[in-house]
Amino acid sequence: MLALLGNMVLWTGYAFAAFFMALLVYAASQGGAREIETWVITLSVCAAAIVFGFLIQYILGGKRKA
């Protein structure tokens, strides 16, 4: 059960990162998001969401072998 929760957290992290990437691409297509700081911060948040998801999944036993 905990492994399932860990997998759900991982997929939520993926969804969060995809949402922020879509917002960044949309802003860039509308003429915004031209500063490098915006890209660095957004990509850092996306990477942190994915790493957090992997960490929680590992802690809850989603990737460990029995």
Domain annotation covers residue 27? yes
The domain total for the chain is 1
pLDDT, position 21: 87
66 located within any domain: no
The average confidence (pLDDT) of the chain is 82
Instruction: Give mean pLDDT, residues 40-65.
Output: 82
Q: Does residue 30 form part of some domain?
A: yes
User: Which residue type, as a one-letter code, is found at position 49?
Assistant: A
What range does the domain containing 22 cover?
2-59
Query: 65 lies in a domain?
Result: no
Does residue 64 lie within any of the structural domains? Answer: no
Q: Is 13 helix (H, G, I), strand (E, B) or coil?
A: helix
Q: What's the whole-model pTM score?
A: 0.72
Going by C-beta distance under 8 Å and a sequence separation of 6 or more, which residues neighbour residue 53? 9, 10, 11, 12, 13, 14
The answer as to whether 36 is a domain residue is yes
- Greater model confidence, 31 or 52: 52
Q: Tell whether the model's pLDDT for residue 12 goes beyond 80.
A: yes
Helix axes 36-59, 2-29, angle to 10 degrees: 170
